[in-house]
Structure 1
């Protein structure tokens, strides 16, 4: 069986195993992607923020603690929504049980739209980026991360297990569906080149201000071995854009 979008997170075993992996100190989420996202979002004092594919909204809690005025999370997994609402009790936050595709984007409503490791689940990024552009206020910003396209081009190197020792890059310029074996399930993701993401953002009207490929920094790792391993291939791609 294969899972699309956020549906895999409603599988109890997957949900538990995912958080066990994500919450490791040296996970890519914590040691690479998290510091980059915080740097790119910058000053968010009094911002109204929309977070697409918000998961358990731990990022939303952090943004509110940094001075955001209101946080709106959009999440398709019911288990994740329950975790998000629990994380945000008594905070200025709202969680919608919607997917990025089904959410009704209100015009010119947000100072910042974010998304972390979620947009690679979406088949139509042109439509998504247009919706995000329209829902931002003038000079509003869009900051997001995805799985690096070098790692989504082919999953042949995962046949030996989730922790790859080597990576196969193949079919890079053939975009579209990829079926990734991940945490004992098969998850559908969408592969695109860096150029395709950049072009889609420009066509939606955005100016791309920054791009990061997740260069590892030693101070974010507790393990020298894991730091050296993460220097071999990029696993994160992040964009900072402005309307």
Structure 2
């Protein structure tokens, strides 16, 4: 395991004990939208994983790394800044084909043209230099390699106050959409910092780095999911996630 020289300069909210315990409980109970919407949407965009060399930026508990190996990936490297998340991933993983590294995605460095697939799940909205990450990923990927990532949808990050209730019902407000700047939000703890970007920014930055856009997904609950969890119906009214697939 390697440690970055610049870890403390990056946001590391997942090492806050209260945040970590809240997030861990959410994921273990699958009581959030990750398992219902985001995860199936990412998997639907994946190429055949057999024999691929894969990089997971913000690998968390290592769920995707283990999934990719189960589907035949030759090797998976997981990049994770949070020591708490990393320790849990290592506790859950018994596979020499998976290598977790303690560093930020901003500081991670490797050779050019080495990965077949780079993925990132709900991590890039915590990163200030999105364009820098895209340029780095482009260099890391082999020709025709894929970059697949999810972020909180810009509709949600624009004015992240959550649902509001009026006489007309429950609504998700949208404001300051074109103000691409830091947002200070509350999620398990106060003052979680996220970076709001427009959908245009997410897409055009990829194109400007040389990628070809292959897919754009804004998943909503399926009929099957709604039958099991009727309360998910409000998530049909605004997209929680934006998922992009780009190819070198």
Unaligned runs of 5+ in 2: 1-7
TM-score by length of 1: 0.92
Q: What's the offset of the Cα at 1:23?
A: 3.3
**Cα shift readout 1:125-176 (whole Å, capped 9, x = no counterpart):** 111100000000011010000000000001234699xxxx531110001101
1:149 aligns with 2:115: no
Q: How many residues align?
A: 237
Pairing of 1:1-243 with structure 2 (within 5 A): 6-157=11-162, 165-221=170-226, 223-243=228-248
8 A Cα contact 1:4 1:188, kept in partner: no
Residue 118 of structure 2: SS of its match in structure 1? Answer: strand
Over 3 Å counting, the alpha-carbon distance change for 1:172 and 1:50 in structure 2 is same
8 A Cα contact 1:32 1:220, kept in partner: no
Over 3 Å counting, the alpha-carbon distance change for 1:88 and 1:130 in structure 2 is same
The RMSD of aligned alpha carbons is 1.9
Over 3 Å counting, the alpha-carbon distance change for 1:166 and 1:36 in structure 2 is same
Q: What's the offset of the Cα at 1:59?
A: 1.2
Q: What's the offset of the Cα at 1:16?
A: 1.2
* Whole-angstrom CA distance in 2 between matches of 1:26 and 1:88: 23
TM-score by length of 2: 0.90
* Whole-angstrom CA distance in 1 between matches of 2:84 and 2:30: 23
**Cα shift readout 1:173-199 (whole Å, capped 9, x = no counterpart):** 110100111113321000000001111
Q: What's the offset of the Cα at 1:7?
A: 1.4
* Whole-angstrom CA distance in 1 between matches of 2:48 and 2:240: 26
8 A Cα contact 1:45 1:68, kept in partner: yes
> Looking at both structures, which has the greater relative contact order when contacts are Cα pairs under 8 Å and sequence separation is at least 6?
1
Over 3 Å counting, the alpha-carbon distance change for 1:125 and 1:185 in structure 2 is same
Q: Choose 57-66 or 14-23, whichever is displaced more.
A: 14-23
